[in-house]
Structure formats: structure tokens, C-alpha cells
């Protein structure tokens, strides 16, 4: 039997793992808990490490199952500590994940580096946003749960994140390659796995899922309470949204804002509106007024992201002065707007850039565009 035909246990949510252990392997129910904790808490990559499981049971596991992680194809480390991985999946497809260090310790004398990980949910993306390298790749396929969470497993192993009670990777953002709500069932399985009390026990308050605005599934995701919601807005009017985000704009902006008005929020919870600031395109005085009208309708905060230049696009990043001017204009309208510090620009950390550069190198295209 080839390795690829074996069941990847990382693809199984806990109820499915329990059924597999009892029905396919004939093991007692408690074995499921043991295997689950070895995979998700202790982060082992093989059955030989599962020392509280008998050798005969480990041999049986190895016959029909495996723990399959993505392989590291490339790693880039920025001067600011941002680390970007290009990961190869079992079918040869490539995806990206990024580790972003916190700016400062959370407590005095705390020397432990805290990190946020940005994970991908699809190979490529169907949304074709004009500013995004991933959008240029087109859509290849959805990722499995094991591939989505395999990014976390690889990153935890890389940084030595071995104590879930004192994690190095503190927060997760589903903001990498792909549109999470177009892979909704699998994304929700991955969130339940992260939050399982016998596993990593991630709090929903430490996980954010970003969408460009997908009508089908948004309410279901909101009702689940599995994570915070971030919405990639990037344009404060329908005309500009159609230019920047042509596929997302099929759901009219007015209808999206109406859905966000009805979106279920917990106490003290707010929706994050992600806004990529592109110099001269969406940062003008009229855009400030339009954003003010949107924010007045929502319980939301505006996360300003300076554009990270992407080869082959006509856009440019705002200068520090332009960004500050735009931010102050928003403050003057009583909008809660925060600039998210851009990191990893020296390692092509924007979504899809490393994959695009890898593909260009494979074609012998020196420009990388």
C-alpha cells in the first residue's frame, strides 16, 4: 500500500478519529484521546513517538494510517523576525504560511517571543483581486483540514513550540492564500480541532478568519462563534470595489454592509474591517467620507494595512506622510482606525508573493512578475 493511500489522521476531526479508531482499527475508545493528544498537543510527526501505545497497536496504525505534514520547500526570515514558509503538499502544490512576531513582551521581564501565524485555506484563490499575487494564480483546489492545520504543526516544530500551556504561537489568522468561506466546512472543522479541550484548546478570541465578503456561509460562520470575523473591505464604494475586487463585488457593497449590521457579535466584540491603503486609489478625502458612513452603521474597527508592492500591478504603497494624513482624516470622523505595521517586506511576505516568485523561477522568468 502506498503512503498516499493511507488515511491522514490530521484530516480527521475528533468524532471522525474516534470512529476510525474503534471501527477501522478495533481499538478501545480511549486510544482516540491518546492519539489526538499526541498529534495536536505533543505535535509528533510519527507513530513511533507514541510511547503509551503498545508496539502492536502502533504497527497496526502504521499499516493503514499516517501523520502527514506539508513539507518545507523554502523558508525566508526577515530582518524584523517575520518568517515565511513555502510548503509543499502531497500532490506537489505549494502554499504559504507566515509567522509574525509581536512587537513587544506582554508582561515585564517576559523574554519569550510571541507570534501570530497567518495560514492559508486554499491553493490559489478564485477571487481575482487586482492587488493580490494569490489572485493571479487562480484557484487550484480547497485545502484539507490536515493541510490547513499542518501549517501550524510545521511552524510549531520549527520554533520549538512544545508547551501548549505557554505557547509561542499565540494567535492565528486565516488570512493567507484563498477565501476561507469558500472552504467553509473544512475551515470550521479546523477551528473545532484547534479549540478542542483535549487538544490545543485555542480560545476563539485568539483566532480571526478573514473574508472578502461571501454571502453564503457568513451567517453560519457567525452563529458558530468559532472565531472573530475580519472583512476585507479595501474599497468604500461599489464602483471602486468592482475595480479592486471584481469577484467579491458580485455581492453588492450595500448588501454586504447590511449583512454585517445583522452579524451576531459577542459582548465587547467588534468586526474588523481590513483596509489595504493604496496610494492615490482608495485614500482620498471622498473615501474618508464614504468610510465614515459605513463605520457609523457598524460595530467595527478599521485596520489600515499599507500596501505591500506586488510585481505586475500598477499600484504603489503610501508614503508614511500619506498614510498618516489618511489616518488622521479618519480619526477626525471619529473612526477607530489603526495602522497595522507592515512586516516582512524584504522576504516577499505579502500573500502569494513567495509562491509567485517560486513559479517564476521555475519558468526561468528573472522578473518574478
Contact 233, 212 (CB under 8 A): no
Strand partners, 76: 84
Cα 245-246-248 angle, rounded to 5 deg: 65
Distance CA 289, CA 276 (A): 17
Q: Strand 122-124 vs strand 139-142: parallel, antiparallel, or unpaired?
A: antiparallel
Q: Is 7 helix (H, G, I), strand (E, B) or coil?
A: strand
* Residue linked to cell 483546489: 141
Known catalytic residue: 10? no
Strands 228-232 and 139-142, by their bridges, are unpaired
Map 106-159 to HEC letters.
CCCCCCCCCEEEECCCEEECCCCCCCCHHHHHCEEEECCHHHHHHHHHHHHHHH
Q: Report DSSP state, residue 319.
A: P
Q: Which of 229, 132, 231 is nearest to 188 (CA)?
A: 229
Residue 286 designated active-site: no
Dist. CA 158–CA 83, nearest whole Å = 10
Query: Which residues does 215 contact at the CB level (< 8 Å), separation at least 6?
Result: 251, 255, 256, 259
Cα 335 to chain centroid, rounded: 26
Q: Which of 66, 96, 179, 327 is catalytic?
A: 96
The residues annotated with a catalytic role in the active site are: 96, 351
Amino acid at each position: 500500500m502506498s503512503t498516499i493511500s493511507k488515511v491522514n489522521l490530521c484530516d480527521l476531526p475528533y468524532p471522525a478519529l474516534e470512529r476510525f479508531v474503534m471501527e477501522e482499527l478495533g481499538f478501545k475508545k480511549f486510544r482516540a484521546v491518546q492519539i489526538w493528544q499526541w498529534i495536536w498537543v505533543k505535535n509528533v510527526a510519527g507513530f513511533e513517538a507514541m510511547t503509551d501505545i503498545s508496539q502492536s497497536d502502533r504497527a497496526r496504525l502504521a499499516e493503514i494510517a499516517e501523520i502527514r505534514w506539508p513539507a518545507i520547500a523554502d523558508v525566508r526570515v526577515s530582518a524584523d523576525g517575520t518568517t515565511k514558509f513555502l510548503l509543499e503538499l502531497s500532490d506537489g502544490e505549494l502554499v504559504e504560511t507566515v509567522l509574525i512576531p509581536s512587537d513587544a513582551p506582554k508582561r515585564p521581564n517576559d523574554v519569550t517571543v510571541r507570534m501570530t501565524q497567518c495560514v492559508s485555506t486554499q491553493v490559489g484563490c478564485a477571487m481575482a483581486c487586482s492587488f493580490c499575487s494569490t489572485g493571479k494564480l487562480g484557484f487550484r483546489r480547497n485545502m484539507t483540514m490536515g493541510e490547513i492545520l499542518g501549517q501550524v504543526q510545521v511552524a510549531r516544530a520549527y520554533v520549538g513550540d512544545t508547551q501548549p500551556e505557554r505557547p509561542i504561537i499565540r494567535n492565528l489568522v486565516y488570512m493567507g492564500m484563498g477565501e476561507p468561506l469558500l472552504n467553509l466546512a473544512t475551515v470550521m472543522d479546523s477551528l473545532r480541532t484547534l479549540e478542542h479541550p483535549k487538544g490545543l484548546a485555542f480560545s476563539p478570541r485568539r483566532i480571526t478568519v478573514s473574508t472578502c465578503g461571501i454571502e453564503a456561509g457568513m451567517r453560519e460562520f457567525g452563529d458558530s462563534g468559532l472565531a472573530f470575523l475580519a472583512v476585507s473591505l479595501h474599497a468604500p464604494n461599489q464602483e471602486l470595489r468592482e475595480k479592486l475586487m471584481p469577484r467579491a463585488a458580485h455581492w453588492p457593497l450595500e448588501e454586504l454592509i447590511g449583512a454585517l449590521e445583522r452579524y451576531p457579535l459577542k459582548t465587547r466584540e467588534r468586526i474588523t474591517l481590513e483596509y489595504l491603503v493604496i496610494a492615490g486609489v482608495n485614500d482620498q478625502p471622498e473615501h474618508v467620507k464614504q468610510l465614515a458612513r459605513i463605520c457609523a452603521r457598524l460595530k467595527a474597527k478599521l485596520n489600515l494595512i499599507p500596501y505591500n508592492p506586488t510585481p505586475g500591478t500598477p499600484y504603489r504603497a503610501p508614503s508614511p506622510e500619506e498614510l498618516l494624513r489618511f489616518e488622521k482624516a479618519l480619526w477626525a470622523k471619529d473612526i477607530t482606525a489603526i495602522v497595522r505595521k507592515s512586516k516582512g517586506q524584504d522576504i516577499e511576505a505579502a500573500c502569494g508573493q513567495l509562491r509567485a516568485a517560486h513559479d517564476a523561477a521555475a519558468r526561468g522568468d528573472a522578473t518574478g512578475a
